[in-house]
Amino acid sequence: MPFNRAKPENLERIRRFWKEAAPGPRGEDGWPVLLDGRQAKTPGGKPLVLPTEALAVLVAAEWAAQGEHMELASMAATRLAHTAIETVPDKREAVAGEVGRYAGADLLCYHAEDPQALADLHAQRWTPELAWAEQALGVSLVATAGVIHRPQPPDSIARVKALALALDDFALTALAVATPLFGSAVLALGLQRGRLSGDEAFDLSRLDEAFQEERWGLDEEAAERTANRRREAQALDAWFKALRP
pLDDT in tens, 135-184: 999 999 999 998 889 899 999 999 999 999 999 999 999 999 999 999 99
7 pLDDT above the threshold of 70: no
pLDDT digits (tens, 9 = 90+) for 50-108: 999 999 999 999 999 999 988 888 999 999 999 999 999 999 999 999 999 999 999 99
Q: Is 149 exposed, middle or buried (0-12, 13-18, 19+ CB in 10 A)?
A: exposed
Q: What is the dihedral of CA 63, 195, 94, 206, to 10 degrees?
A: 90
Fold of 3-86: ATP12-like (3.30.2180)
Q: What is the pLDDT of residues 104-133, one digit of tens each?
A: 999 999 999 999 999 999 999 999 999 999
pLDDT of the residue at 12: 52
Q: Is the pLDDT of residue 233 over 60?
A: yes
SS3 22: strand
For the chain, domain boundaries: 3-86, 92-243
* pTM of the predicted structure, to 2 decimals: 0.92
Cβ neighbours for 154, distance < 8 A, ≥ 6 positions apart:
none
Residue-level pLDDT at 5:
43
State which CATH number among 3.40.50.970, 2.160.20.70, 1.10.3580.10, 3.40.250.10 fits the domain covering 92-243.
1.10.3580.10
Find out whether 173 and 82 touch, Cβ atoms under 8 Å.
Answer: no
pLDDT of residue 11 exceeding 90, the answer is no
Per-residue pLDDT tens for 25-54? 999 999 999 999 999 999 999 999 999 999
Q: What is the pLDDT of residue 6?
A: 40
Residue 10 has pLDDT above 80, yes or no: no
* Amino acid identity, position 223: A
Q: What is the DSSP string of 192-244?
A: HTTSS-HHHHHHHHTHHHHHHHHHH---HHHHHHHHHHHHHHHHHHHHHHHH-
Give tens-digit pLDDT for 189-232. Answer: 999 999 999 999 999 999 999 999 988 887 888 899 999 999 99
The pLDDT confidence band at residue 8, using thresholds 50, 70 and 90, is: very low
